[in-house]
Each structure stands twice: as C-alpha cells, then as structure tokens.
Chains A and B, each alone.
Chain A
Amino acid sequence: AQSVAQPEDQVNVAEGNPLTVKCTYSVSGNPYLFWYVQYPNRGLQFLLKYITGDNLVKGSYGFEAEFNKSQTSFHLKKPSALVSDSALYFCAVRAPRDSWGKLQFGAGTQVVVTP
C-alpha cells in the first residue's frame, strides 16, 4: 500500500529565509508526486509535480522540489520565503499503476512565515 509522510506539523521561517517542507513516500515502482497549497478557506491549488526526468522540478510562485529516489523523498523548497507563503502544504502521491488518478495525501504541513 502506498503512503505519504510529512514529518513536520508546522514549519516556522522568517521572511527572506529559505523554506523547506519535507515529504517522504512509500509506493511500489516509480511514483507520480505532487505538491498542493491550501490558503485559509480556499481549495487546494496545484504547485508542481514530478513524473519523470530531471529530479529538480520548478513550479508556481518560485517553489521547486527535488525528487530523491534513494531516499524516497520529494521535499518542497523556496529560496526566499514571503509572508504570503503562509499556508497549509500537502504532498500527494499517485501510484504508477493507478489509472484513475487517485491521490494519497500526507497530513499537511502548516507554514508560518514571519515578517
């Protein structure tokens, strides 16, 4: 069975500092990996995904993520955080043999960026 772990409930960072949100996964085969962000009282917005190819994936709003197969990780990063990046971030995995697009989500990590 596939699973996703986000080991940190909350990440606190000062504006201008680098931001990292961790994600590890467990799935057979080569997974499809996604990051979504949820602002208060809003739906989930897609940030970026990894399907195949280059291990460093660039996405929306200056975010990027690095796929590491040996460590089964897909950490989200931003070189310089903004106060507006404060939100709930979800990592999700789709099994490669899943033809129905079903996503398994992590529990989410709350990011708090202070001025």
Chain B
Amino acid sequence: NAGVTQTPKFRILKIGQSMTLQCTQDMNHNYMYWYRQDPGMGLKLIYYSVGAGITDKGEVPNGYNVSRSTTEDFPLRLELAAPSQTSVYFCASNLLNRGQGAPEAFFGQGTRLTVV
C-alpha cells in the first residue's frame, strides 16, 4: 500500500517563482488536507477538501491555491514564492463518514521547500 504520496521531497525556489506540490492517495479517502510545519509551531492547516470539486481554506491559506479534480489527487500551488513560505509541507487524507467516530488521518512524508 502506497498510502499518501508527495512529490517532490525537496525543492529550492527563487523568490517569485511558482510551483505545484503534488499529493496523491490510493486509499479512496474522501477528505484531504495540506498542512505546513514550521519549527516550534506545530502543523498549521492551509487548505482542505471534502471531495472532488470541493475545497475550503484552513488557518493559513494566503499565498496558496488548491484544486481537487479527482478523489486521489490534491495538488497545492504556490504562485509567487516568498521566503515566508519556506517550510515543510504535509499532505494528509482521511475517510470520514457521518456518525462513524473519528478515524485518524494518514500523512505523506512531506515536501521540504526553501525559498531564497
């Protein structure tokens, strides 16, 4: 089982460049999430999706965009990279059905992004 797969693992961007962080899951999960991890700050939610075609902002969405055209894929787009976006980015997925408790989310291995 591949689980949640993120690419690339590492990337260095120059200020103003754009890139897309890829995330795919093979567990047929309906919910997907993007978090960023900064030292001493824990993980902060950027965007999330409850299914194909449905996305919403999280706690720190500025400077990012997402799309969800399929159940499996949830790419994160940075249009004009800034040094403040230097971080480790994690994609996660979950299978949530009404009334079925609180299943745990599965995380990818992360993308380490440096903006210089």
A102 touches B108 (CB 8 A): no
Q: Which A70-115 residues have C-beta < 8 A from chain B?
A: 90, 92, 94, 99-103, 105-108
- Tell me the bound Cα distance from A9 to B44 in angstroms: 18
Chain A positions within 8 Å of B40 at CB level: 9, 107-108
Q: In the assembled complex, how far is the CB of residue B18 from the closest CB belonging to chain A, in whole angstroms?
A: 25
Residue of B nearest to A32 (CB): B102
Do most interface residues of chain B lie in helix, strand or loop, or is the interface mixed? Answer: strand
With A32-B102, A100-B48, A100-B50 as contacts: A43 and B4 at CB distance below 8 Å: yes
B110 touches A101 (CB 8 A): no
Residue of B nearest to A108 (CB): B42
A43 touches B109 (CB 8 A): yes
Mask, B75-96, CB within 8 Å of A = 1, is 0000000000000001010101
- Tell me the bound Cα distance from A40 to B15 in angstroms: 27
Tell me the B residues contacting A by CB distance below 8 Å: 4, 31, 33, 35, 40-45, 48, 50, 56, 58, 90, 92, 94, 96, 98, 101-110
